[in-house]
Structures are given as structure tokens and as C-alpha cells.
Amino acid sequence: MHRLPPISRRGFNRALLLSGLAVLATPHFAPVARAQQRITYFTWAGYDLPEFHQAYNSRYGGEPGYAYFGDSEEAFQKLRQGFTPPT
């Protein structure tokens, strides 16, 4: 069995510092997430009334898309089967 030489305290601190810097720098090199141009709101029918999303309309200049479900169980089953609302 091949043994590694013992590491000094200075070497250990240097390795610890470099690993900490790598962890802190990682988010700066991660790809930036981009938002879609239009979102799809997966909801019950009736929640598509304009008065429910006036702030969205004024901020983004239009209404979101809608995908409807009848009840919570139907929504759960759709999502469980891999449903993704259209964009």
C-alpha cells in the first residue's frame, strides 16, 4: 500500500483557503438563467380575470398564458404524468 506524505499545517491552510475561494467564485461562472418572454399560469378557470393580474399586465405589457384544471387532484395527476404548460 502506497502512503502519501504527511501534509503540513501551512499546506492544509492553503488548500482550505483555495477550496473556499473556489466555492465563492463558482456562482460567478455559472450560466445565467433567462426568463421566458411569456409565462403560462396553470390554474383553475375563473382566475384568468384581468383584475387578478393587473400588476403583471402593467409591468410586462400583456396577459400571461393560461392552462386550466378542474380540481386539485386533476392538476396533481397532470403534473405527475409530465404535463408542462405550453409556452
Q: Where are the domains of the chain?
A: 40-80
User: Residues 7, 8, 13, CA angle at the centre, nearest 5°?
Assistant: 100
Tell me what pLDDT residue 33 has: 60
pTM of structure: 0.47
Q: pLDDT below 50 — which residues of the chain?
A: none
In this predicted model, what pLDDT tens digit does every residue of 54-79 receive, in sequence order?
888 888 888 888 888 888 899 899 88
Closest CA to 43 of 63, 62, 71: 71
* Cα–Cα dist 51/65, whole Å: 15
The x, y and z cell numbers of residue 68, run together, are 386550466
Tell me what pLDDT residue 62 has: 84
Tell me what pLDDT residue 41 has: 84
Tell me what pLDDT residue 34 has: 61
Tell me what pLDDT residue 63 has: 85
48 and 24 in contact (C-beta within 8 Å)? no
